[in-house]
Amino acid sequence: MIVDCHVHVNNYQDETVFVLDRSLDLLQHTMRRNRVDLAMILTSYVVSPGRPSTRQVVEAIRDLPQFRVVAGLDYFSFRPEDLVELADYVRAGIVRGLKLYPGYQPFYPSDARWEPAYQFAAEHQIPVMIHSGDTYSPRGKLKYAHPLHVDEAAVDHPDVRFVICHIGNPWIRDCMEVVYKNPNVYTDISGLTLGDFEDRFEVYMRRQVQDMLLYGVEPHRVLYGTDWPIASMESYLDFMEELAIPARDKRKIFAENALALFQLEARNSPLHRRGRV
């Protein structure tokens, strides 16, 4: 089984054009071709025609059991009241996490503004995914996206589980240390390339992921994700295929860790009702 814990349905070509239905069709097709059973769709921190809101995505996937949503929050417009609507989606088993975008937006994960969001995550037992490392847009500010800043939020919120996205690339060692040290921190390997991996870079990155596991990051804290459509699902499968780690660790990374962390087997989830898990 494969769970891709990090995909998007934004229109990266043209932010002014709404393409949610087309993106979902293409995503379903790409998942089938790459043996992906379940995908977590991360909504953006901004809503525009090309970046559908959490509500729009939740409504669009209501009858598609192979999807869940991780709700992106906007640093500037976030109000604790926004969490009321999200609570319904969380109870329905559709929203399974929150996503913050430091770097794309100017804040550190420990910013006091997120206190209600962290309380919400603790109460509902859902993880908070944090963008980290390189920003796809040159307008991002990298200092906010350094994985070391997740440490403070993780220490101050021991009852919240965090996911450092993109293994903090290129600050992979710092990410390793934050995950190694904090039992409530996980990391995903998504977004390590644009499109397909270039051969030499793929070898380099595979070594980094292997080193991370060798360093002492337990395999149950690493999640499979691609960042599709920014990265190619085909190329990511090849990347994983040649990763020199025990088969049981690969199974954890491919699916078991995400199933447990996002509680994808919850009774109220559409997937469970249809008997697929």
Strand arrangement, sheet containing 3-7: 3-7, 38-42, 67-72, 95-100, 128-130, 162-164, 185-188, 222-223
Which residue, 23 or 270, has its beta carbon nearer to Zn ion? 23
**Whether the Cβ atoms of residue 230 and residue 193 lie closer than 8 Å to each other:** no
Six-digit token pair at 95? 């929203």
Which residue, 258 or 270, has its beta carbon nearer to Zn ion? 258
**Count, residues near Zn ion per rule CB under 5 A:** 1
Which residue, 227 or 256, has its beta carbon nearer to Zn ion? 227
Q: Which of 4, 174, 227, 256 binds Zn ion (CB under 5 A)?
A: 227
Which residue, 189 or 264, has its beta carbon nearer to Zn ion? 189
**Whether the Cβ atoms of residue 224 and residue 4 lie closer than 8 Å to each other:** yes
Contact region with Zn ion (CB under 5 A), list: 26-34, 44-52, 143-151, 226-234: 226-234
Question: Is position 151 an interface residue for Zn ion (rule: CB under 5 A)?
Answer: no
Look at the block and give the residue holding tokens 């995909």: 7
Cα dist. 230→7, 87, 233, 236, 268 in Å? 9, 29, 9, 12, 31
Contact region with Zn ion (CB under 5 A), list: 93-101, 202-210, 221-229, 234-242: 221-229
For the bound state, the minimum distance from the C-beta of residue 194 to Zn ion, rounded and expressed in Å, comes to 12
**Whether the Cβ atoms of residue 191 and residue 236 lie closer than 8 Å to each other:** no
**Contacts for 232 with CB less than 8 Å, ≥ 6 apart:** 193, 195, 196, 226
Binding mask 157-176 for Zn ion (x = CB under 5 A): --------------------
| 175-196: burial string, b at 16+ Cβ within 10 Å, e else | bbbbbeebebbbbbbbbbbeee
Contact region with Zn ion (CB under 5 A), list: 119-127, 180-188, 224-232, 242-250: 224-232
* Residue with nearest beta carbon to Zn ion: 227
For the bound state, the minimum distance from the C-beta of residue 34 to Zn ion, rounded and expressed in Å, comes to 17
List interacting residues with Zn ion (CB under 5 A).
227
